[in-house]
Amino acid sequence: MTERATPFYCPFCGDEDLRPVEEEHGWLCGACRRVFTVSFLGIRLPEGAK
């Protein structure tokens, strides 16, 4: 099992007061109180690249 990605700031307000939320596998922002998750979708090459 791999570790989850750790965000450095809230994508909504930009604050750095983030706490893990275990039951939802996400992050809680202490400033705006939003809960969000971080997911890795993959790596994609630009169109036309070989």
Q: Is residue 20 a contact partner of residue 7, using CB atoms and an 8 Å limit? A: no
pTM score, whole prediction? 0.71
Give residue 4's pLDDT: 63
Distance CA 9, CA 29 (A): 8
At residue 26, the pLDDT reads 92
Give the model's pLDDT for residue 1.
38
pLDDT of residue 32: 98
What's the pLDDT tens digit per position in 4-46?
678 999 999 999 999 999 887 899 999 999 999 988 888 888 8
Q: Give the model's pLDDT for residue 24.
A: 75
- At position 14, the amino acid (one-letter code) is G
